Amino acid sequence: MNKRVVITGLGVISSLGVGWKNFWDNLLLGKSGISEISSIDTSKHFTHKGGEARNFKPEAFIEKASIPYLSRATQLAFAASKLALNDAALNLDECDHVSVCLGTTNGSTQSIEHINDVITSTNGFKKLETHNELICQIPTNSTPAFISKTFNFNGTSVIFSTACAAGNYAIGYGYDVIKLGRSDIVLAGGFDPFIRFAFTGFNQFSAVAPDTCRPFDKNRKGMIVAEGAGILILESLENALERNAHIYAEVLGYGLSCDAFHMTASSVDGIATCIKKAIQEAGITLESVDYISAHGTGTLTNDKNECAAIKEVFGPRGKSIPVSAIKSMIGHAMGAASALEAVTCALAVKNDIIPPTINFETPDAECDIDCVPNQARAQVVNVAINNSYAFGGNNACVVFSKYKQD
């Protein structure tokens, strides 16, 4: 368990662009990836905006003949994986026992929606016999399986379905896989496509903002549903140094907790417990945390509870630690959310710049934190923590730091 784990590659598909550089540049500029939804009919819904990855072209990453057999979910995850592998400059012919650890909320639910459309349009199941490609897409584990098969990775292949914290769960598990010596290289992260099921569900909860996501703002009205994929190449430090790899950041540890409180609402105690566990696992002090990437959905309850938990953990300093919510720019990409935020933490640590929380106008006394309003901030970031919370009370927090030689 004494292996150190570093990040050597990043892959991003998001509403703010394809590739980590486009994503990062647009984050720092405070741009919004939110637009009118084009992939589904929203005429019968309360809201009509979302964070679609409009610049994503699957044919740029996947052989044309394979595309019909891959769900949108797998297409997103595979493309982000390919970007991350290229960024890490790995020679795959020399890589042995590579693992794939991914997280998702909905997986390939979109394929089930398509099957339902086929059944209802043909008044029966007979037509499905000519739609084998849809059947192949249904299993949630088909995504990591396809990635492993394509690249001939024979290490662990696993999927987590812990909703909107799934990306962080996968990163934490990938960290353990390396610490335990089971792999020297792990593709870890999360993915989710834009689907009717999620968009309709959150609309029915009245949890979706009609126009703009405003985390921590007094007039916040909810989240914005989005899609995307974020993949990190985790690598043992020994392996990374041996091949002279570029290192973005080091993963120091993570914390998990389950609220056992409510199916949808978060618990202040549960969030605080999760953060405390992560800090203890990482072996750092409260004073060493320079930046918190918030779950920050823009809903009334989540933002209030997250702020209360931060202040409970950090005391008076909780009001002054920079805490930004990139969901204000990219929307809530479900299982991909915390993975994209993990990419953000790695880049903030590497570049000493903190992205903003945009759309912030009116302070809220219950969210009296430093949310880095509207403008990116140049500041030394030695340690960043990434918060994520999910339906069912699943909480995950991962700690990142600058890589420093012993």
The pLDDT tens digits for 361-403 are: 999 999 999 999 999 999 999 999 999 999 778 999 999 999 9
Which is it for strands 228-236 and 185-192: parallel, antiparallel or unpaired? Answer: antiparallel
Stated pTM of the model: 0.93
107: CB partners within 8 A, 6+ apart:
71, 73, 140, 143, 159, 161, 192, 335
Both tokens assigned to 273:
């417990």
Please, are residues 8 and 245 in contact by the beta-carbon 8 Å criterion? Answer: yes
Active-site residue, selected from the candidate residues 95, 101, 164, 397 = 164
Cα separation, 211 vs 271, in Å, equals: 28
Q: Which helix (H) or strand (E) holds 389?
A: strand 383-390
* CATH architecture of structural domain 5-401: 3-Layer(aba) Sandwich (3.40)
93: CB partners within 8 A, 6+ apart:
none
CA atoms within 13 A on the CB side of 173: 23
262 an active-site residue? no
- The rounded mean pLDDT for the chain is 92
Cα separation, 224 vs 213, in Å, equals: 6
Q: Which helix (H) or strand (E) holds 37?
A: none
Q: Which helix (H) or strand (E) holds 111?
A: helix 109-122
Active-site residue, selected from the candidate residues 274, 332, 367, 371 = 332
Please, are residues 268 and 262 in contact by the beta-carbon 8 Å criterion? Answer: no
Residues of the chain short of pLDDT 50, as ranges, are 130
180: CB partners within 8 A, 6+ apart:
1
Q: Reduced to 3 states, what is the DSSP secondary structure of residue 122?
A: helix
Cα separation, 330 vs 228, in Å, equals: 9
Please, are residues 350 and 24 in contact by the beta-carbon 8 Å criterion? Answer: no
Active-site residue, selected from the candidate residues 95, 101, 213, 295 = 295
pLDDT digit string, tens, across residues 74-118? 999 999 999 999 999 999 888 889 999 999 998 766 555 555 565
Beta-strand ranges (E) seen in 200-287 are 228-236, 249-258
45 an active-site residue? no
DSSP letter at 163 equals G
Residue ranges of domains in the chain: 5-401
